[in-house]
Amino acid sequence: MFYDRIDFLGEQKGEKGTNKYFRCQKCGNALILSEEGIIYEVSAKLRLI
Ligand SMILES: [Zn+2]
């Protein structure tokens, strides 16, 4: 998946390395890029629960 409009929020050290956090400007979803290069997308709606 390709995201062209994202904001870089910051990075945080986890157990397996540094995760980078972004936010999609379109839908507000959070995107987490792991050190292995895997992108996790967290729904903006789910974060309200
Ligand atoms: Zn989005």
pLDDT, block means (10 residues), the chain with 49 residues: 80 90 90 92 71
Residue type, 47: R
Which residues make up the environment of ion ligand 1, defined by Cβ < 5 Å? Answer: 24, 26-27, 29
Residue 34 neighbours by CB under 8 Å, 6+ apart: 14, 16, 17, 19, 40
Task: Tell me if the pTM is above 0.85.
Answer: no
Distance 38 CA to ligand 1 centre (A): 16
The CA-atom distances, in angstroms, between 7 and each of 15, 25, 36 are 24, 7, 20
Q: Return the pLDDT at 13.
A: 93
Cα(28) to ligand 1 centroid in Å equals 6
Secondary-structure breakdown of the chain: helix, strand, coil percentages, each rounded to the nearest 5: 5, 50, 45
The Cβ-side half-sphere exposure at 6, using a 13 Å CA radius, reads 18
